[in-house]
Structure 1
């Protein structure tokens, strides 16, 4: 699997393309562009103020990390994982994240625990304020930061990609109010991590993924065309200079 830098180079993205890539990725991860949303090149090129060729390069990169599906004559759409793919994504995350816990535990320091607790506090606040996009982002950040403690950059990158795809699964198959993981589960994981209890930590992580899987309801939905002008309003002004 290519690194993010390698994919950027391979797709020929410049700095503005990178900003557009990150804006679209953020919108997908935070459910502002739900699974199945159409991504017409013309509409996006107008909103972002770039050529359709530039948009095409960004969409190609998003397709390379399986966040977008490119179909001849139908154009681009935000990926909507199938039932089987959705289940496989979470099974794979469980395998990777549980297998890496011994390395996480062996390297974990008080500073790591403090950083994780800070994330959980922010996540809890987002839930209380009903800030869905922030809750989703912070939930993913917790898992990525937890695995990064191990120092295994390759695995951390894999987990990052999988959390991005997980957001599409939850958006496609979760309940409308479901916003990322249960932050009380995250608090329990940090407590067991601080106790250096590998057996209980591993079991709690497995249960955490079981809770997520049990919350999914596999029902079909339709395609949508978002209001790109509203969604990315002010993009040019925010990124001038």
Structure 2
């Protein structure tokens, strides 16, 4: 920015700095991918099971639980981060478990904040499956494992993957919560990009952002291919 548009200024050196030279950028990519993958896997399992019982066995308890799960996502990120600091600095007076100031607090914060995204996606998926299909499986003598493996998962998987991918992307590019909870060696992608921009290294922040956009587009393409192949496999099985 501010430099004349010439062929001499068109290079990949800013991308090289982000991918090879900058230890913070490389560490941030590893931290964010690790956070996003773990949160996505845990969210798929817990969020899908909660959504199933929320739809199939509705009661006051799971209604209140859904509201409680939604609240962290509704709060502003800074408020959510401050609540995490107050909650984990000393959960019990005089006892510090060492969670605050480590990457573990980011795992807890991300899971608490983004679980509702998976729950909503899984609820939509469960609502699309007629309960009579489960009743037919039970009448045929199938146990719970067989019912999930042969009936529910093939039908629910495309929608579950959409929710999981949303959780993954949101966690990968999160900034507001991370900006208050990150510590040394636990930088995330959003924090590093914001730091480059604030320090005046606009070319580095732009290059880093461009790489993330390319990564997201590739992720959408892979998700589309996976859903297409899975739907075709299910259609053939029918």
TM-score by length of 1: 0.29
Greater helix share, structure number: 2
Q: Which has the larger radius of gyration?
A: 2
- Higher normalized contact order (CA 8 Å, seq sep 6+, divided by chain length): 2
